[in-house]
Chain A
Amino acid sequence: MPHECIIEKIARRNIISNQNILQITKLKNNYSMIIKALRAAFPVTLPIFAGYWFLGLSYGLCMHAAGFDWIYPMLMSMVIFGGSLEFVAVQMLLSPYAPAQVLVMSLLIQARHIFYGVSMLEIYRGTGWKKFYLIFGMTDETFAINYSAKVPAGVDKGWFMFFITLLNHFYWVSAATAGCLAGNLLPENIRGIGFVMTALFVVIFIEQWLKEKRHVSAFIGFFCALGALAIFGPESFMLPAMAAIALLLALLQKPIRKAEATSDH
């Protein structure tokens, strides 16, 4: 009897230690998978680093000029994480308190994100808890990169997109804070570097253009945007442009799908 007891004890201990080893290797694999995703994501975010640092510094400077402490741009860029809205928010904070107007304005300014969400429904599918952060951090640039970047082979897609979002968020918050802290110390000779954002969207537009067979949607987007800009001006053309794009895509659904079906067979 005691003999069997000892054997059983040893066996049980072995099972436990085997389980431990399994768990440890699992953790190790997880860890290396995460590091791998971070390594793959970092180079893709470098253009955003340049663009966000320029925009973020300018935004921090605006806050500094408006007389705010650095804690303001830091917290605002953390929780809002949207460039154009944050610039408008500087004015909102300087105006008389008008909560309803603030909410309506921010919904209008951010309305274009609804289009990004519709485009990312399938791509963000199945990313688990990371999905909440991915959606929270879906700026123009994060959306454009996550939509168009090819995930390298052997890299986890969810973690890859998570780190792209996280790095972009980090660049934005640090630049906004630094801009406010540095105040007027910033050199003038970086003027024009904000063009990097335009260049990013030009490049992604071209990549998309080369990938698709028919360009009807690209033409719709381009002419609706130009038309709305000509009619409504730079401050308020986005909503009419979006409405026109949605309407045209809806109206042309049948012919576009028909063309798609015939060219696929």
Chain B
Amino acid sequence: MTTEEEIITVALCAAGSLITRFLPFAVFSEKRPTPSFIRYAGKYLPSAVFALLVVYCLRNTDALHGMHGLPEFLSVAATAALHLWKSKMFLSMAGGTACYMIIIRLTENL
């Protein structure tokens, strides 16, 4: 690739990002009232999207081989338990991550 082709490639990636991010805002402007289905979607989508994002983060976990996803499962459970108990965001995340880092070290030679 020439430098020019590299620049175009990066610019197209940026364009892809911009288009997907701006699309809803461009279609439904502030001036006109948002259609009722879109308002309904905006209200109910986030719960589904957060569930989707959790699965997305864990997508490469192999449940059939190796540790069968046990480190991930235990650490997610630890994060959730900490959060339900103390509901301190930073504590839950630090605890869950520490749990994961410890488990993968303890189990790497198994």
User: Which residues of A are in contact with B by a Cβ distance under 8 Å?
Assistant: 46-47, 50, 75-76, 79-82, 85-86, 89, 92-93, 96-97, 99, 102-103, 105-107, 109-122, 124-126, 131, 135-136, 138, 140, 144, 147, 191-193, 195-209, 212, 215-222, 224-226, 229, 234, 237-238, 241-242, 245-246, 249-250, 253, 256-257
Contact = CB atoms under 8 A, between A and B. Distances in A.
Contact of B30 (A112, A125, A253): A125
Interface in B47-80: 47-60, 72, 75-76, 79-80
Nearest to A97: B5
Contacts of B37: 250, 253
5 contacts: A114-B23, A198-B57, A198-B58, A199-B93, A215-B47
B21 A191 contact: no
A256 B39 CA distance: 13
B110 interface: no
A196 B46 contact: no
A109 B47 CA distance: 21
Contacts, number: 240
A191 B52 contact: no
A179 B49 CA distance: 30
Given A121-B39, A121-B42, A234-B60, 15 more contacts: A47-B93, A50-B97, A85-B16, A99-B12, A106-B15, A118-B38, A118-B41, A121-B38, A135-B25, A195-B75, A202-B83, A207-B89, A209-B47, A217-B46, A221-B50
A117 B21 contact: yes
Given A117-B24, A217-B45, A225 B51 contact: yes
Contacts of A205: 47, 50-51, 53-54
A215 B48 CA distance: 9
B25 A124 contact: yes
A82 B17 contact: yes
B10 A76 contact: yes
Chain A binding surface, main DSSP class: helix
Contacts of B53: 140, 144, 201, 205
A205 B84 CA distance: 12
A102 B24 contact: no
A191 to B, nearest CB: 7
A85 B20 CA distance: 12
A122 B29 CA distance: 11
Given A122-B42, A192-B104, A203-B92, A97 B1 contact: yes
Contacts of A103: 12, 15-16
A37 B45 CA distance: 28
